[in-house]
Structure 1
Amino acid sequence: MAQTPRPTHPLSIDEAWAFTAGQAASTTFFFDFDGVLSPVTDDPDASQPAPAVLGVLERLAGVVNRVAIVSARPVSFLRSRFSSLERVDLYGLYGLEVWHEGDVVTNPAALPWVPAMSDLAEQAKAELPGSILVEYKRLSVALHYRTAPAEAATVERWGHEQAERLGLRVQGGRMVVELKPPVDQDKGMVITEGVRDAGCAWYFGDDMSDIKAFDALRAREAVDPSFFGVAVAVANPETGAEVSSAADLTLDSPDAVAEFLRQGLERF
């Protein structure tokens, strides 16, 4: 039987699902967590997957080659939310940590930065306004100003000053400034490696760091005419316009992601 031709961009949902169903054995689905599988919350520790997400990811993992979550959250957090999923790989801290087949692997280049990040988190709590939520992630520190948007400039300035002082990298996001070790690792690099042997891959994202993942799908298509990548944005009032402009499709919410996957699974 002749192979289904790779769809061209811009593409229709029907085209995307039809090709994916025909290439299921070589397809990977990648998902960001916050804003994609879970609604964004004022308190990051309160975030939970949307109600239908766990079931639909388990079903998806049963019919495609691989399902993975690629997040700024630590693997320990992701494990606490997805412990019931046996066939889903977890990439934490933009890929600095990886959970695969029961083991956590940490990028050794990042480990020496653990003490500095701990100190930085304490410094942030002491120097920034009390309305700023400081999230210590062992290998990064996130400064959330969602509940205090008027402090955005203060947080941005403080974050960049500390990054310059310590030689850190700054990752902007949805009402958050994150400080990371100067280690070459981002979501785009995760996807570049993850699609090396894939015939098809989807990435679902909602924030600025996810655009690098979209770009990785495009780069793979450029060098492999048989590869097909689908970039899906999830709408939001902060970074939605820029992320959607880089995507093939846009969905309204984490609940819409779950329903979109449920409908797509009917094609398999």
Structure 2
Amino acid sequence: MAETPRPTHPLSVAEAWSVTADRAADTTFFFDFDGVLSPVTDDPEASQPVAAVPGVLEQLAASVRRVAIVSARPVSFLRSRFASLERVDLYGLYGLEVWHEGEVVTEPAALPWIPAMADLTERARAELPDAVLVEFKRLSVALHWRTAPQLAPVVERWGHEQAERLGLKIQGGRMVVELKPPVDQDKGMVITEGVRDAGCAWYFGDDMSDIKAFDALRAREAVDPAFFGVAVAVANPETGADVSNAADLTLESPDAVTAFLTDGLRRIQAQ
């Protein structure tokens, strides 16, 4: 059977799945966690994947070349939610940590920053209002104001002051500011490396940091006409239209992602 020609963007769902089914053995799927595989919650520790997600990802991983989760969460958190998955790679902290074939690999340049992040966590808890949730991630500190949106200017100002004081990177997100070591690593870099040998790749994201991953798919297509990338946004009221405008397709919720993948699996397995 002749391979389905690569469609141009914008594309339809049918076109995207048709090309993917033809290239399943050479296709990689990447997923953000919060807002994509799990609803966003007031308490980050309470987040759980949609019930059907682990099973769908395991089936998908058996049907394509590779499946990976690329998240701002630490690998330890992702492992606690996906311990049953044997074929899915985990990228934590924007790629500073990687779980692959039963081993966690940490970016060496980030390790010296662990004490500074612990100190920053204590400073944040002492100086910021109690309504701000301070999340220590070992290699980064996230400051959440989801339960007190009026505090956004206070948290953002404090975060930028600390980033300048310590020479840290700052990452904005959905009602959160995250302070990270000054190490060149983001989701776009993870995807750039991850698609180097792939013929087709999908990325599902919901936040501003995911646009870099979408851009990585576009960049690969620009230099390799045979490569096919699909950027999927998951809608939410906090990032508005920015993420959707950067994507090929938009889904309404993590539950819709699960249904979409279940349908896609049927198409792949029927090929």
Q: TM-score range by the shorter chain?
A: over 0.9
1:217 has 2:225 as partner: no
Q: Which runs of 5+ in 1 are unaligned?
A: none
**Which residue does 1:79 correspond to in 2?**
79
Distance 1:265 1:38 in 2: 20
Distance 2:129 2:103 in 1: 38
Distance 2:101 2:240 in 1: 34
Which aligned pairs between 1:77-156 and structure 2 lie closer than 5 A?
A: 77-156=77-156
Q: Percent identity?
A: 83
Specify the code of the residue in structure 2 equivalent to 1:46: A
Specify the code of the residue in structure 1 equivalent to 2:194: G
**Which residue does 1:22 correspond to in 2?**
22
Specify the code of the residue in structure 1 equivalent to 2:102: G
Distance 2:169 2:71 in 1: 17
Distance 2:50 2:266 in 1: 20
SS in 2 for 1:110: helix
Specify the code of the residue in structure 1 equivalent to 2:52: A
Distance 2:241 2:131 in 1: 27
**Which residue does 1:245 correspond to in 2?**
245
Specify the code of the residue in structure 1 equivalent to 2:217: L
Q: Which runs of 5+ in 2 are unaligned?
A: none
**Which residue does 1:67 correspond to in 2?**
67
Distance 1:63 1:9 in 2: 25
Specify the code of the residue in structure 1 equivalent to 2:222: A
Distance 2:76 2:3 in 1: 41
Specify the code of the residue in structure 2 equivalent to 1:260: F
Deviations 1:127-163 (A, max 9, x none): 0000000000000000000000000000000000000
Deviations 1:196-235 (A, max 9, x none): 0000000000000000000000000000000000000000
SS in 1 for 2:267: coil
Which stretches of structure 1, 4 residues or longer, exceed 3 Å deviation after superposition?
none
SS in 1 for 2:63: coil
SS in 1 for 2:230: strand
Q: Are the equivalent residues in 2 in contact too, given 1:206–1:240 (CA < 8 A)?
A: no
Which aligned pairs between 1:224-263 and structure 2 lie closer than 5 A?
A: 224-263=224-263
| TM superposition score normalised by structure 1 | 0.99
Which aligned pairs between 1:171-190 and structure 2 lie closer than 5 A?
A: 171-190=171-190
SS in 2 for 1:135: strand
* Number of residue pairs the alignment of both structures matches: 268
1:5 has 2:5 as partner: yes
Specify the code of the residue in structure 2 equivalent to 1:161: E
Distance 1:59 1:106 in 2: 28
Specify the code of the residue in structure 1 equivalent to 2:51: P
Distance 2:172 2:95 in 1: 17
Alignment root-mean-square deviation, CA: 0.5
Distance 1:245 1:85 in 2: 32
Distance 1:227 1:83 in 2: 32
Q: Are the equivalent residues in 2 in contact too, given 1:234–1:240 (CA < 8 A)?
A: no
1:203 has 2:206 as partner: no
Distance 1:124 1:51 in 2: 34
